[in-house]
Structure formats: structure tokens, C-alpha cells
């Protein structure tokens, strides 16, 4: 069986990266090795920000590994899953030569990271059967092999579509691409889905990488913390490619507090309330005049097609409701993406759309 590290750029496999003052786990009580200020800042009440932070705090990685069902050495934490996407593209795509495969409509950062690296973006559009979007994994595999792409990005649950790629399809795709490409499953919305995480496939499919984030269900978008989970040797390479000190100490402290004993039940309570509001909002929008289609969703948003999406967008904005205009995405020229809000926020969406096309 081939190893995922074999897909890494040859010039980076033995790349040492930058060794910061916190790379070596030295022990002491007088720290004079990083040119930090010896005097604290008046705003630093906890006396934690005058020192550079641990690049990958062991306690944090252990906590996140427990949360996501993997080993700590299979996980790298960074500035949101956006950083993980960028690290993967930089590590696996030679500038000006590499290629990735995406399945539009999908999250735009895959293409942005690739283009910044000079890598080609090969698109295999999702199939809209009139009721839902589906990923043709055989077509994705064919495209990856034909283009010699080293990365395939699957957003599941999909953004902005709201649908999930079945795990059997992910497994089959990874098997076809073993030794040829990594299959990156972006699970930013996994907490809202009833299906198991692709982390469960890592033991038998080493060329799978899973992205997770604390920004959605855990209500921690402002701390900018996400992870990549995959083969331990690959994670070592990604750490060497990461900029120094990616995790600010105040953000780490907030995450540790949020993921401590007890608060996870509050995450579950939030997601349960979201499930109910998602169903209520979807039912109301299906009955609203001017709405063509509301797609099923296993995320915390709905993709909605309108007779006139501009009129709907403007009416909502005039009422103080900001939704995502996704009309620039392929095949979505009449669609808006609406995040599931609190009951009063959803009531306002329903009221506005009930009146605008009446």
C-alpha cells in the first residue's frame, strides 16, 4: 500500500521548515531565547500574550483528537480549515504544475488556494436531479487520473448545496485514487449531519484527509481554529510547512474553556435546536410565493431557488436580514443561501418572503 507522503512534493518530503523558539520543548524559568519583551503589556491581564505561543499545544491536540475520534499525531490545528486547505495545496502541488479537482457549486477557498499556488482547478460539477445535488465520484476519479491531480476536494455536507456524499462513495473514490491523489473531505458542517464522519475511513483509506472546524456548531468562528486529520507522516510534513505560531494563546484558552467538561452538551443543544428550526424554515419557504425550490439540507443552512433572487435578496436586506448571494456559482443563478438562525430571526425571513411576492 502506498503512503500519502509519497504524494507530497519531492522537494518538501525532507523539508525541515522553520524552527521557532518554541519548536524545541526546553524547560526553564528564565526565557531569553525568543527576543520577547521581558515586561508585560498593560492589556495582558493573564500574562500570556507577551510570550510566543506553543505552535501545536499538546493538551489542545489531545482534546481535539478526542472530539473528532482520531489520534493526536493524526491532527494538525491551524487558523480555521482555510489554513489546512492552503497547507495541503502548497505541500502537494508544485507551483505552476499541480492540479486539484473540485465539485462545483462548492466552497470557493479550494480554487483560491490552488490559483495562488499556480495549480490548475479541474471542475466536475455536481449533478442536480431536480430534488438534490449528487456527486458523480466515478467522474471525479476519471478527472483526477486524467489531469494527474494530487488533491480532490469533497465538501460534505456541501456548501452551498447542503447535501452529503455517502461514505461508501468516499471510500470507493479513495480506493480508485490510492497512490495517485488525496481525497480531502471538508466536514465543516458535520455536526449537523446524521451520517458518520469520514474519519472512520482513515484506518483503511490512508489517502483520505478530513477537515473539521470549530466555527459552526461550536459557535467559535471568531477564534479561527480548524484541523486537518490524516496520515501521521503527512501531518508531520504539513506542520513543517505551517507558519510559526499559528495559534494565538488567547484563542487556545477560549477553545480549551469551550471544550471543557460540560459545554459539549450545550453544542448538542444548539444543534438540536438548529435541526428543528431548519425543518420549520424549510417548510415555510416551500410554501412561500416566489420560491421555486428548497433543497434538502444536512447543514445549518438552506439553498433556495427563487423566481427572482435579486428581489428576494433586496427585500431581505431592506428588512435588515443579510443572506448569502450564491448566484455567481455554476448553476445557481437564481439561488440564495440562508443560514438557519434563531426562531425570531427565521420568523423575520419567513415574514419578508411571504410578503414580497404576494
Inform me whether the pLDDT recorded for 263 exceeds 70.
no
* Together in a domain, 86 and 198: yes
Distances (CA, A) of 132 to 51, 107, 166, 220, 307: 50, 17, 13, 30, 18
Shared-domain flag, residues 348 and 232: no
pLDDT band for 357, please (50, 70, 90 cuts): confident
Judge if 112 and 161 occupy the same domain. yes
Q: How many CA atoms lie within 13 A of 16 on its CB side?
A: 4
Give the pLDDT confidence of 292-301 residue by residue, as tens digits: 999 999 999 9
Same domain, 40 and 122: yes
For residue 311, give the CATH number of its domain: 3.90.1150.10
Let me know whether 91 and 237 are in one domain: yes
| Number of domains composing the chain | 2
310 and 161 both lie in a single domain = no
285 shares a domain with 213:
no
Structural contact between residues 103 and 140, judged by C-beta atoms closer than 8 angstroms: yes
Report the C-alpha gap between 146 and 123 in whole angstroms. 12
Show which of 238, 258, 278 is a domain's final residue.
Answer: 258
Q: CATH number, domain at 232?
A: 3.40.640.10
- Residue 89 is placed in which grid cell? 495545496
Q: Cα(282)–Cα(350) distance, rounded to whole angstroms?
A: 10
Which pLDDT belongs to residue 264?
66
**249 and 303 assigned to the same domain:** no
Summarised one tens digit per residue, pLDDT across range 212-257 is: 999 999 999 999 999 999 999 999 999 999 999 999 999 999 999 9
* 248 and 337 fall within a common domain: no
- Residue by residue, DSSP assigns 304-331 as EEESSHHHHHHHHHHTT---EE-TTSTT
Give me the sign of the Cα torsion angle 227, 233, 237, 240. Answer: positive
Domain end, chosen from 258, 287, 305, is at: 258
Does 311 share its domain with 330?
yes
In a 10 Å sphere around its CB, with 0-12 CB exposed, 13-18 middle and 19+ buried, how is residue 103 labelled? buried
Q: Are residues 347 and 233 in the same domain?
A: no
pLDDT in tens, 27-56: 888 988 889 999 999 998 888 899 999 999
Please give the residue range of the domain that contains residue 238: 4-258
Q: Which of 199, 230, 258 is the last residue of a domain?
A: 258
- Asked if 192 contacts 275 with a C-beta cutoff of 8 angstroms, the reply is yes
271 and 233 fall within a common domain: no
Amino acid at each position: 500500500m502506498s503512503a500519502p507522503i509519497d504524494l507530497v512534493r519531492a522537494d518538501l518530503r525532507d523539508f525541515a521548515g522553520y524552527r521557532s523558539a518554541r519548536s524545541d520543548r526546553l524547560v526553564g524559568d528564565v526565557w531569553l531565547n525568543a527576543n520577547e519583551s521581558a515586561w508585560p503589556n498593560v492589556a495582558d491581564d493573564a500574562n500570556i500574550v507577551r510570550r510566543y505561543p506553543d505552535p501545536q499545544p499538546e493538551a489542545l491536540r489531545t482534546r481535539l483528537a478526542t472530539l473528532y475520534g482520531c489520534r493526536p499525531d493524526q491532527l494538525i490545528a491551524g487558523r480555521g480549515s482555510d489554513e489546512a486547505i492552503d497547507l495541503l495545496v502548497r505541500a502537494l502541488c508544485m507551483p505552476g504544475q499541480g492540479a486539484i479537482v473540485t465539485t462545483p457549486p462548492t466552497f470557493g477557498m479550494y480554487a483560491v488556494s490552488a490559483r495562488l499556488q499556480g495549480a490548475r482547478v479541474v471542475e466536475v460539477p455536481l449533478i442536480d436531479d431536480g430534488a438534490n445535488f449528487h456527486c458523480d465520484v466515478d467522474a471525479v476519479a476519471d478527472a483526477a487520473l486524467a489531469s494527474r491531480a494530487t488533491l480532490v476536494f469533497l465538501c460534505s455536507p456541501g456548501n452551498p448545496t447542503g447535501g452529503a456524499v455517502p461514505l461508501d462513495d468516499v471510500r470507493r473514490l479513495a480506493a480508485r485514487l490510492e497512490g495517485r491523489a488525496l481525497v480531502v473531505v471538508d466536514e465543516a458542517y458535520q455536526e449537523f449531519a446524521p451520517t458518520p464522519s469520514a474519519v472512520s475511513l482513515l484506518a483503511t483509506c490512508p489517502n483520505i484527509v478530513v477537515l473539521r472546524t470549530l466555527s459552526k456548531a461550536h459557535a467559535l468562528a471568531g477564534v479561527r481554529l480548524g484541523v486537518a486529520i490524516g496520515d501521521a507522516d503527512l501531518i508531520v510534513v504539513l506542520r513543517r510547512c505551517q507558519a510559526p505560531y499559528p495559534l494565538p494563546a488567547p484563542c487556545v484558552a477560549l477553545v480549551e474553556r469551550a471544550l471543557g467538561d460540560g459545554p459539549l452538551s450545550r453544542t448538542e443543544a444548539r444543534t438540536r435546536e438548529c435541526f428543528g428550526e431548519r425543518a420549520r424554515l424549510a417548510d415555510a419557504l416551500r410554501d412561500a410565493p416566489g420560491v421555486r425550490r428548497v433543497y434538502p439540507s444536512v447543514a445549518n443552512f438552506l439553498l433556495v431557488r427563487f423566481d427572482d433572487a435579486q428581489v428576494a435578496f433586496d427585500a431581505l436586506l431592506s428588512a435588515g436580514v443579510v443572506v448569502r448571494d450564491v448566484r455567481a456559482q455554476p448553476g445557481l443563478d437564481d439561488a440564495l443561501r440562508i443560514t438557519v438562525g434563531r426562531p425570531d430571526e427565521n420568523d423575520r425571513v419567513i415574514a419578508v418572503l411571504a410578503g414580497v411576492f404576494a
